[in-house]
């Protein structure tokens, strides 16, 4: 049945070359844990990607209930967590995934670093990776404020105080991020926009560049 549907579409749109080009590649022996157990370190990039997909999907569902204003934000999260069917699971995925994705990205970065995989010709992909790293940090920082509880407020206060210590542009950066003098309505609206539109858009673009470069250059090694 599935084969029939596939053939029907393929006959009309010739999709086989497209997916073969994307997916039909041999995995080199040195990155296959079935051959060398230590090759499991090559999985960290893919695991980072897997959790990133979970973050995007769970985040999309969270926006169906989350209300980004200071009167309703906390209550909307409370409602989602305690009243909505599967709400606790969706929020749990996004909450724990946020930490796990950073851990995975860090392990992936360590793998690339200690194997020297950033060396010529992969320098540009390391640079893209560093940009991804900052975007991920930004997602963590802006997402933390959104539940609008005491922990969120004071964590953001600490984060903005750190921003102030940057020479010359520190004060400007803080005002720009907070949208004013205090952490208030403007800050929450701004963090929400950055968290769900600006940074995810940047992340998608950067990940596309990351994967295109990996495909073009192939995986590094064996050592």
Among residues 68, 97, 129, 143, which is the contact residue for ligand HEM, using CB under 6 A? 129
State the residue for tokens 């999260």: 77
Asked whether position 59 contacts ligand HEM by CB under 6 A, the answer is no
Q: What is the CA radius of gyration of the chain?
A: 21
- Distance in Å, CB of 47 to ligand HEM, minimum: 8
Report the candidate in 48, 151, 173, 34 with the shortest Cα–Cα distance to residue 109: 48
Asked whether position 214 contacts ligand HEM by CB under 6 A, the answer is yes
- Distance in Å, CB of 220 to ligand HEM, minimum: 3
Among residues 49, 65, 74, 79, which is the contact residue for ligand HEM, using CB under 6 A? 49
List the interface residues with ligand HEM, window 91-120 (CB under 6 A).
105, 108-109, 111-112, 117-118
How does DSSP assign 11-37, residue by residue?
A: HHH--HHHHHHHH--PPPGGG-TTT-G
Cα separation, 207 vs 13, whole angstroms: 27
Instruction: Estimate the crossing angle of helix 199-217 against helix 43-62, to 10 degrees.
Output: 150
List the interface residues with ligand HEM, window 132-161 (CB under 6 A).
132-133
Residues 6+ apart with CB under 8 A from 216: none
The footprint of ligand HEM on this chain (CB under 6 A) covers a number of residues equal to 26
Among residues 74, 79, 126, 198, which is the contact residue for ligand HEM, using CB under 6 A? 126
Residue 222: is the preceding peptide bond cis (ω within 30°)? yes
Asked whether position 30 contacts ligand HEM by CB under 6 A, the answer is no
Applying CB under 6 A, which residues contact ligand HEM? 42, 44-46, 48-49, 52, 105, 108-109, 111-112, 117-118, 122, 125-126, 129-130, 132-133, 207, 210, 214, 219-220
């Amino acid at each position: 049945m599935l084969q029939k549907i596939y053939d029907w579409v393929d006959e009309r749109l010739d999709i086989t070359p497209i997916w073969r080009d994307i997916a039909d590649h041999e995995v080199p022996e040195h990155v296959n844990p079935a051959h060398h157990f230590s090759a499991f370190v090559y999985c960290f990039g893919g695991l980072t990607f897997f959790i990133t997909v979970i973050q995007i999907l769970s985040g999309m569902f969270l926006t169906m209930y989350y209300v980004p204003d200071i009167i309703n934000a906390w209550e909307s999260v409370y409602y989602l967590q305690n009243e909505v069917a599967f709400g606790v699971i969706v929020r749990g995925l996004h909450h724990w995934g946020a930490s796990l994705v950073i851990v995975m990205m860090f392990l992936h970065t360590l793998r690339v670093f200690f194997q020297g995989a950033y060396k010529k010709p992969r320098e540009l992909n390391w640079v893209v990776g560093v940009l991804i790293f900052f975007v991920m940090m930004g997602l963590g920082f802006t997402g933390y404020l959104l539940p609008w509880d005491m922990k969120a407020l004071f964590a953001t206060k600490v984060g903005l105080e750190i921003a102030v210590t940057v020479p010359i542009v520190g004060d400007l950066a803080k005002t720009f991020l907070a949208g004013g003098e205090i952490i208030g309505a403007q800050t929450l609206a701004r963090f929400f926009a950055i968290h769900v539109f600006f940074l995810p858009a940047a992340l998608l673009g950067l990940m596309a560049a990351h994967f295109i470069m990996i495909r073009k250059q192939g995986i590094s090694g064996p050592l």
